[in-house]
C-alpha cells in the first residue's frame, strides 16, 4: 500500500455554537491541513498521485475557507465549524478529485491539537 501526503495552511475565525467555554466566543486559528491519499497501484511512471494535482485540489478547497468567518460559510451554516467538521468537509471535497483514494485529512488548530477524519473502506477495518 502506498500513501502520499501534502500539507497546506489557512487562517480563519469561528465560534462554536452550543459550546460552554472560551471557544463559544469569536476567535481564530492558523490551521494546518494534512491530506493523505492511499492506494495499492502506481501509475505508469511510478506515482500514486501527482503532488502538484493534490496540492492544487487542497489549495482550492482551503481558498474557500481562508481568512473567512467560518460560521458564515454555506457548509457551516448548520454544521458547527469544529476541527472535526473541517476535516470531514475537506475529506469529502477532496474525494471529488480523487475518488476512493482519500485516506485521511488531519486538521491542526494549533501545534498540539488536531482532529482527523478518515473512512474505513474495508470490512476488516470496520470490525476492529
Q: What sign results for the dihedral spanned by CA atoms 18, 23, 27, 29?
A: negative
Averaged pLDDT, 34-50: 97
Of the candidate CATH numbers 3.40.640.10, 3.30.930.10, 3.40.50.300, 3.30.479.10, the domain formed by 2-126 belongs to: 3.30.479.10
Q: Is the pLDDT of residue 126 over 70?
A: no
* Average pLDDT across the chain, whole number: 94
C-alpha angle 18-9-4 in degrees, rounded to nearest 5:
110
The pLDDT assigned to 48 comes to: 98
Task: Classify residue 61 as left (phi > 0), alpha (psi -120 to 50) or beta.
Answer: alpha
Confidence category of residue 122, pLDDT binned at 50, 70, 90: low
Helix (H) or strand (E) holding 89: helix 83-97
- pTM (predicted TM-score): 0.91
What are the residue boundaries of the structural domains of the chain, listed by start? Answer: 2-126
The pLDDT assigned to 128 comes to: 43
Dihedral of the CA atoms 92, 65, 48, 44 (nearest 10)? 110
Strands (E), the chain: 2-14, 27-39, 102-110, 113-118
Q: Is the pLDDT of residue 57 over 60?
A: yes
Residues 64-105: tens digit of each pLDDT: 999 999 999 999 999 999 999 999 999 999 999 999 999 999
Rg of the chain's alpha carbons, rounded to an integer? 16
Query: Helices 51-63 & 83-97, crossing angle to 10 degrees?
Result: 130
Q: Among all residues, which ones are annotated catalytic?
A: 23, 67, 109
The pLDDT assigned to 119 comes to: 84
Name the percent of the chain lying above pLDDT 70. Answer: 93
Amino acid at each position: 500500500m502506498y500513501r502520499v501526503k501534502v500539507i497546506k495552511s489557512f487562517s480563519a475565525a469561528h465560534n462554536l455554537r452550543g459550546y460552554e467555554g472560551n471557544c463559544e466566543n469569536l476567535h481564530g486559528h492558523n490551521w494546518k491541513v494534512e491530506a493523505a491519499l492511499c492506494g495499492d497501484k502506481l501509475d505508469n511512471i511510478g506515482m500514486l498521485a501527482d503532488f502538484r494535482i493534490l496540492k492544487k485540489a487542497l489549495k482550492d478547497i482551503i481558498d474557500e475557507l481562508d481568512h473567512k468567518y467560518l460560521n458564515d460559510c454555506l457548509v457551516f451554516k448548520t454544521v458547527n465549524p469544529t476541527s472535526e467538521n473541517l476535516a470531514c468537509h475537506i475529506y469529502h471535497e477532496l474525494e471529488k478529485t480523487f475518488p476512493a483514494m482519500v485516506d485521511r485529512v488531519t486538521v491542526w488548530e494549533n501545534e498540539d491539537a488536531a482532529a482527523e477524519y478518515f473512512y474505513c473502506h474495508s470490512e476488516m477495518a470496520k470490525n476492529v
